[in-house]
Amino acid sequence: MNQRPICNYEGSRYSTEFWDATRAYEDAVERVAMRALLPPRGRTLIEIGAGFGRMADLYAGYETVVLFDYAHTQLVQAVERLGEQGADGHPRYLFVQGDFYHLPFVTGLFDTVTMVRTLHHAADAPAVLRGIADILGPRGAFILEFANKLNLKAIARYLLRRQPWSPFSLEPVEFVALNFDFHPRWMWTQLEQAGLRREAVRTVSHFRIDILKRWIPTRWLTALDALMQPTGALWQLSPSVFTRARAGVGKSAAPAGAFFRCPACGEPLGAPPHVEFHCTCGKVWRREGQIYNFRDPA
């Protein structure tokens, strides 16, 4: 496989050290945006970069939910929080470890794909978007959050000569290693080139300012942010942007019973509840505990 750099949260305390009380506002407003954009029900959904499963409670209307992440320890936390919660012997949650550049799923599998606070770690965002477009079924929905280069704080810092890069240029900026901000116009072009039609935009975290979060109750800031989010259809000046895009109607859905494919060569492999998958290319992939490991072949 062609290796690109990956931001690895293995062993981190992301669920407690990042998502503590100081980010209650960010969590709340992102949930407002997700509820507004997410199709309420469907057969299959995958969250790419799901981590410890922060957003999993929003997916109650889906029969099968795949939580996908690169870091094994993040998925272990998701298993501990959620379990499989299945009925009739069929697990509702599937936990899959892998690389978002080489998604181990057959073409046209998912009704809905979500990706929140993840694409900003992609050195090759267009490649990630192409992979997502491939696993979406006909008219499948893609809910994407991305870090916005054209936000008001970045504009002010640039005009005051406190940052070297221009928020007005279209190319992504890597402000620290494997952390990228994207211009909305650049992102719309990438979605279109991947075959995904943008149909809704919401701007989020308008009040992501420490002094406001300290002195104004979270519920008030959340209510104000919720009122402003629909203005994203007109302009995008907040630090976070959410969009819903759709796959085309001419796509083929995955064949019945098809699910996994080899991330190394693309060969179809089978479906849960199988625990070991032997590919004709020689790779062997296994379920380890409750996590399907498609990052490290056996």
2-53, pLDDT tens digit by residue?
579 999 999 999 999 899 989 999 999 999 999 999 999 999 999 999 999 9
Burial of 198 from C-beta contacts in 10 A (0-12 / 13-18 / 19+): middle
Rounded mean pLDDT of 261-290? 96
Share of the chain above pLDDT 70, in %: 97
pLDDT at 170: 98
Instruction: Please tell me the distance from the alpha carbon of residue 62 to that of residue 52, in angstroms, as a whole number.
Output: 19
Among residues 265, 296, 238, which one has the least CA distance to residue 96?
296
**177: which DSSP letter?**
T
Instruction: Please tell me the distance from the alpha carbon of residue 55 to that of residue 38, in angstroms, as a whole number.
Output: 12
Among residues 182, 173, 159, which one has the least CA distance to residue 243?
182
Q: Name the pLDDT band for 128 (thresholds 50, 70, 90).
A: very high
Judge whether 286 lies within some domain: yes
Q: How many domains does the chain have?
A: 1
Among residues 180, 154, 176, which one has the least CA distance to residue 165?
154
Other beta carbons within 10 Å of 165? 15
Q: Name the pLDDT band for 1 (thresholds 50, 70, 90).
A: low
Phi then psi for residue 89, to 5 deg, are 80, 0
Judge whether 174 lies within some domain: yes
Phi then psi for residue 48, to 5 deg, are -95, 125
Judge whether 298 lies within some domain: no
Judge whether 7 lies within some domain: no
Instruction: Please tell me the distance from the alpha carbon of residue 192 to that of residue 202, in angstroms, as a whole number.
Output: 18
Judge whether 1 lies within some domain: no
pLDDT at 84: 76
Single-letter code of the amino acid located at 36: A
Domain that holds residue 129: 14-293
Instruction: Please tell me the distance from the alpha carbon of residue 180 to that of residue 178, in angstroms, as a whole number.
Output: 6
- Asked if the model's pLDDT at residue 260 lies above 80, the reply is yes
pTM, to two decimals: 0.96
pLDDT at 90: 58
Instruction: Please tell me the distance from the alpha carbon of residue 22 to that of residue 24, in angstroms, as a whole number.
Output: 6
Judge whether 4 lies within some domain: no
Sequence-separated (6 or more) residues with CB below 8 Å from residue 33: 145, 202, 204, 229, 242
- Asked if the model's pLDDT at residue 138 lies above 80, the reply is yes
Rounded mean pLDDT of 78-97? 81
Q: Name the pLDDT band for 201 (thresholds 50, 70, 90).
A: very high
pLDDT at 85: 75
Q: Name the pLDDT band for 193 (thresholds 50, 70, 90).
A: very high
Could you tell me the CATH number of the domain that includes residue 179?
Answer: 3.40.50.150
Q: Name the pLDDT band for 86 (thresholds 50, 70, 90).
A: low
Return the minimum-mean-pLDDT range out of 26-35, 89-98, 206-215, 250-259: 89-98
Contact call for residues 115 and 145 (beta carbons, < 8 A): yes
Judge whether 5 lies within some domain: no
Judge whether 3 lies within some domain: no
Residue with tokens 């942007």: 241
Q: Under DSSP, is residue 143 helix (H, G, I), strand (E, B) or coil?
A: strand
